[in-house]
Amino acid sequence: MQRDDAGLTPIPPSPSHDPPAAGALLALRGVTKRFGGATALDGVDFELMPGEIHGLLGENGAGKSTLMKILSGFQAPDEGEMTLRGEQVRFSSPAEAKARGIGMVYQELSTIGALSVAENVFLGDQPTTRGGIINWKRMNAAADAQLRELGVQVDVTSRLSALPLGLQQMVEIARVVFSGADVVILDEPTSALSVRESERLFTSMRELRARGTSLIFISHFLEDVLAVADRVTILKNARKVATLPAAGLTKQRLIEMMIGRDASTLAASYQEGVTLPPPVEAPPVLEIEGLSIPGAVRDASLTVRAGEIVGLFGFLGSGMTEIARALFGQLQPHAGVIRLDGRPVQIHSSTQAKRLGIAYLSENRRATLFPRQEIYKNMTLAHLDRLVPPLFRKRSELGIAEQMVKRTGVRPPNPHLLAGYLSGGNQQKVVLGRWLTRQPKLLILNEPTRGMDVGAKREVLDLIKGLKAEGVAVLLLSAEPETVMTEADRILVMSKGRVTKEFAGERVSKDLLMAHA
Amino acid sequence: MAKDMPQGVGAGAAGTATARPRASGWARILGWAGQRARLIAPLVTLLGLVVFFSLTTDSFFTTRNLWNGILSQYAVVAVAAAGTTFVLLCAEIDLSIAAVSLLIGVLSAYFWITPVFGIDFGTWGVLIGLIAAALIGYANGFFAAYIRIPSFMMTLAMSTIALGLAVWVTQGKPIFKVPGLLRTLGGTGSKIGPVPVPVIVAAVVLLVADIVLSYTKFGRYVYMTGGNREAAEMSGVNTRRVVALCLMISGLTAGMAGMLNVGKLNGANPQPSNELLIFTIASVVLGGTSLFGGEGGIKNTLIGVLIFGCLRNGLNQVEGISIYIKQAVEGFFLVGALLLNVVALRLERIRTQAE
Ligand SMILES: Nc1ncnc2c1ncn2[C@@H]1O[C@H](COP(=O)(O)OP(=O)(O)OP(=O)(O)O)[C@@H](O)[C@H]1O
Ligand SMILES: [Mg+2]
């Protein structure tokens, strides 16, 4: 790796506070936010112009979500001021910000699983009849229309929790995007979406911009940000690095500003494709034959060998998550055989799956994280057996957690912190670490790098490669072509419940993958 | 691969050295803050009550009153509350505590005086009572966890069943003969040195419960199941078994409480009363254990029982409060204590909802 110092512009240590540019719709001046002794934001300036899409970038924990929560009234700044259309404002609640036309899609879903899709789209302001009763007919019709505009076709009367995660995310987006807000904040809206839904979302974002709405878009997919944003702001370690027009910026330049050093290896784009390595010669650990799950998977077969990473690529509704859930005892297949080390097994529960040596990381962080428990408890849960008998030793538990915090790069690296206080990407590192405290036989990872920044993604993929070297069979599920292309030995593409294509020992590219999905 | 993170996480010894102490300093405080507020707020309430009643009455802060008036009187509640803590920690509820304790108390006396199937159980009736208590608790747990009847409804129904059985077994008549063992364990008069035996029993039960919750795998599973049931399930925890066992433990401790009560009163009266249920749940919640699961513990429960005991005992001794208003005053104090818990948690907890 070569350092290219000449290519780096020195970053001013502390940005000077210029007067707000004329015409800014929303401006923040010198905003500081502390949590305990930690500074999440340190004198940050931010400006949003009318009718622009403003990208917000930075490493995990840089302060992006915190800045946006201040804009949307969810958190109050310790210092600094905010002006909206030239008038100084201070929001004490999200409702207040909403009343002033600011709507936000939070990083973690804030929808309610027990309510219907339509109720979630209109959460908080359902259309009512004159008597104040909810007008179901109108609400359902409007929700249906809005979701269709985002390219989603679902029964709006069904329970939200019955939908796959990506669709739940679209419902959340629809709620804010069509609320008529002048400022729409999207905090990593595409981290649970596959390419198709993302593209639909970008189209809707551009349409909104054309109508004069301003949007803020946070994402770790730098190409997406470059494609849709007019300007970008980069945060690093709680400070603002720069605000620049997107035109003329490159992915590499963005990464340099985000992490503050040369990053040519991280900027590699897989557009041209990669050549898969020669097939692994090892006994199969997992064999699936003719697996069918009603409404999700039809006649799927696949094999994962010891020391092999098999990538499973597909979009929403491809059925790959259902295969993973069946392997972890969460769904009962209708037909087909699952063999583990050559022996047929029927998996009825997660406990049994764990005993068989299967580890599964779900794609849904809500279903994996314990926000009100400490990081160390989050990390040691899957393999507590190692700490007993007869009674726990706190020291050895903390030792294991500390090691794992280090390996996954959680920041801040303090195992006593409640997991809910971590930034989104760092929460993901915690839930990933849970399954790495002991070597499983078969490791199933569903979107393991969700919400991680480019550097962290790279590190996690390297970590997975390390496990492979130790002989673990890895099944890697992702709707993100890069994730499967970087490390997989073989790649299977799924579409509408079927395995449509297998790539082995040959050249694959993003386009090729997508063509089969 | 080593990405040289400026604040030094994986790589860079120098970075680690500088970033680490600072990070753990603030973060440790933050991390423990929520939990500490949960313990400190009720502790402040308890101290406040003790000081208040010591100043306003002459009789409150005396060795006699502390041992016999409070500790001994509320030992029964403490035993039941130990089991209830498990249930609340995994985000369920047990409304059958009072009825189960009544039934088991009655049964242990009944076995003492009446041979069943020609067998005279004698003191072994106590053991049978305990087994019955665990079975009833497990039945609650089985239907709540595996059949998915909400524990609220299931235990309410069980409460009715247990009451009915207690009345049926005794034909509605009190039993005045009680196994000697129970009189020793539960009787207010029985002491080792200055320490009433029921207090020792309660201390042992609380200690065992604390060890199970803090130092065993099962205990951790209880917290995690209450913290996020789905996530626990997805980590390979058999959450249904955890819930079923928690309700079983609650049944068992309710039964123990019932027996101690029989020993204390030197008789078993099948008189339905929900006093124990209300005392128990109020104590656990006063101590700071969350009704929504995952947070709290036996230390909280101990403090909660003491708050409740001091409050009721102390108010009785304050002169000039009409007995007609006493109950309302007690209620106001309860609201005040709960308010303090809530406010303390608010202060400590930075809103983390959406993230
Ligand atoms: N409620 C909180 N309590 C304590 N610390 C917090 C809280 N919220 C955020 N932090 C800390 O503030 C810092 C910034 O977090 P923030 O969520 O804004 O990061 P981010 O840029 O959105 O990262 P990511 O890309 O991972 O989502 C992190 O170090 C985080 O641990
Ligand atoms: Mg974030």
Look at residue A20 and tell me whether its pLDDT is greater than 70.
no
- Binned at pLDDT 50, 70 and 90, residue A268 comes out as low
Looking at residue A413, its pLDDT comes to: 92
Look at residue B176 and tell me whether its pLDDT is greater than 60.
yes
Q: What is the mean pLDDT of residues A268-283?
A: 78
Count of other CB atoms within 10 angstroms of residue A207: 12
- Binned at pLDDT 50, 70 and 90, residue B245 comes out as very high
Looking at residue B351, its pLDDT comes to: 38
| Cα dihedral A417→A421→A423→A428 (10° resolution) | 60
Do residues A107 and A185 make contact, with C-beta atoms less than 8 angstroms apart? no
- Binned at pLDDT 50, 70 and 90, residue B9 comes out as very low
Average pLDDT value for chain A: 88
Domain B59-339 has CATH 1.10.3470: yes
Looking at residue B14, its pLDDT comes to: 31
- Binned at pLDDT 50, 70 and 90, residue B339 comes out as confident
Do residues B65 and B313 make contact, with C-beta atoms less than 8 angstroms apart? yes
Q: B291 and chain A: CB distance < 8 Å anywhere?
A: no
- Binned at pLDDT 50, 70 and 90, residue B355 comes out as very low
pLDDT digits (tens, 9 = 90+) for A306-329: 999 999 999 888 999 999 999 999
Q: What is the mean pLDDT of residues A239-266?
A: 85
Q: What is the mean pLDDT of residues B106-134?
A: 86
Look at residue B66 and tell me whether its pLDDT is greater than 80.
yes
CB-ligand 1 contact for A63 (6 Å cutoff) = yes
CB-ligand 1 contact for A486 (6 Å cutoff) = no
Please tell me what DSSP assigns to residue A274.
E
- Binned at pLDDT 50, 70 and 90, residue A264 comes out as low
Would you kindly state where each structural domain of chain A is located, as residue ranges?
26-101+181-266, 274-516
Please name the residue that has the structure tokens 């933050």.
B30
Optimal mutation site among A364, A370, A387, A393, interface B, most CBs of chain B within 10 A: A370
pLDDT digits (tens, 9 = 90+) for A59-97: 999 999 999 999 999 999 999 999 999 899 999 888 899
Distance CA A204, CA A58 (A): 24
Closest by alpha carbon to B319, among B52, B54, B57? B57
Optimal mutation site among A421, A454, A487, interface B, most CBs of chain B within 10 A: A421
What are A472's strand-pairing partners? Answer: none
Look at residue A37 and tell me whether its pLDDT is greater than 80.
no
Distance CA B293, CA B239 (A): 13
- Binned at pLDDT 50, 70 and 90, residue A19 comes out as low
Angle at A106 between CA A103 and CA A110, to 5 degrees: 100
CB contact under 8 A, A75 and B351: yes
Do residues A354 and A382 make contact, with C-beta atoms less than 8 angstroms apart? yes
Percent of chain A with pLDDT over 70: 93
Expressed in angstroms and rounded, the spacing between residue B291 Cα and the centre of ligand 1 is 28
Expressed in angstroms and rounded, the spacing between residue A410 Cα and the centre of ligand 1 is 12
pLDDT digits (tens, 9 = 90+) for B188-203: 888 888 899 999 999 9
CB contact under 8 A, A416 and B20: no
pLDDT digits (tens, 9 = 90+) for A103-131: 999 887 777 888 889 888 888 777 777 77
Q: What is the mean pLDDT of residues B4-28?
A: 39
Beta-carbon contacts of A493 under 8 Å, excluding residues fewer than 6 positions away, are A313, A314, A499, A500, A501, A502, A503, A513, A516, A517
Taking CA atoms, what residue in B is nearest to A106? Answer: B354
Look at residue A160 and tell me whether its pLDDT is greater than 80.
yes
Give kind and range of the element (H or E) at residue B195. strand B195-196
Which residue's alpha carbon is nearest to atom 31 within ligand 1?
Answer: A422
pTM here is 0.88
Which of A199-203, A277-281, A342-346, B344-348 shows the lowest per-residue confidence on average (mean pLDDT)?
A: B344-348
A26-101+181-266 and A274-516 agree in CATH topology: yes
CATH number of the domain at A274-516, please? Answer: 3.40.50.300
Q: B115 and chain A: CB distance < 8 Å anywhere?
A: no
Reported as half-sphere exposure (CB side, CA atoms, 13 A), residue A422 has a value of 34
Edge to edge, what strands does the sheet with A53-57 contain? A102-105, A183-187, A214-218, A53-57, A231-236, A239-245
- Binned at pLDDT 50, 70 and 90, residue A406 comes out as very high
Looking at residue A226, its pLDDT comes to: 94
Fold assignment, A26-101+181-266: Rossmann fold (3.40.50)
Q: What is the mean pLDDT of residues B293-304?
A: 95
Look at residue A55 and tell me whether its pLDDT is greater than 90.
yes
Contacts of B10 in chain A (CB under 8 A): 406-407, 409, 459
Please name the residue that has the structure tokens 């513990």.
B297
Which of A60, A70, A188, A423 best tests ligand 1's pocket when mutated (most atoms within 8 Å of CB)? A423
pLDDT digits (tens, 9 = 90+) for A221-231: 999 999 999 99
- Binned at pLDDT 50, 70 and 90, residue B129 comes out as very high
Do residues A477 and A324 make contact, with C-beta atoms less than 8 angstroms apart? yes
Expressed in angstroms and rounded, the spacing between residue A399 Cα and the centre of ligand 2 is 28
Looking at residue B140, its pLDDT comes to: 98
